[in-house]
Amino acid sequence: MNLPDQQPLTTLPHGPEFRFVDRLLAFEPGVSGTAEFTLRGDEPFLRGHFPGEPLLPGVLLVEAAAQLAGLVAQSDPTIPPLSGLKLTAIRAAKILGSARPGETVTLHARVTGRMGNLVQAQATATVRGTLVLQCEVTLAGTAG
């Protein structure tokens, strides 16, 4: 299996401590992507969520999905990247599970629409083949 170029990961604007996409598994620029994030277990937020029973917070599953959606959107070869692209809306989010330390989250995001400086995407996350998140996200930035 040919893995996609990992170069799009370098365009994530987040610092390393807030990146929730580790590796691309499949990538169609401007259209869709599949990626992985492995919860190491040493992340500071796990100390309080929940002590003795650490879980990846559901809101961070949504953030991971939005990060992948942003990578896909910003890589469209027919549209210049948007400056300052940020998560601005979450719709139809269902958090159906989570990940524990040592588990890998598989993310999938597909851009479903664009209008001006807005990008709409559908996203899912699975852990060990079980759906743990489905949502729609809107990202917004500025042209140029």
Q: Which amino acid is at 8?
A: P
49 is known as an active-site residue: yes
CA atoms within 13 A on the CB side of 54: 14
For Cα atoms 96, 102, 103, give the angle at the middle one, nearest 5 degrees: 30
Query: What b-and-e string marks burial along 126-135, b requiring 16 or more CB atoms within 10 Å of the CB?
Result: bbeeeebbbb
Q: Which amino acid is at 59?
A: V
Among candidate residues 23, 25, 28, 49, the one labeled active-site is 49
Q: Which residues are catalytic?
A: 49
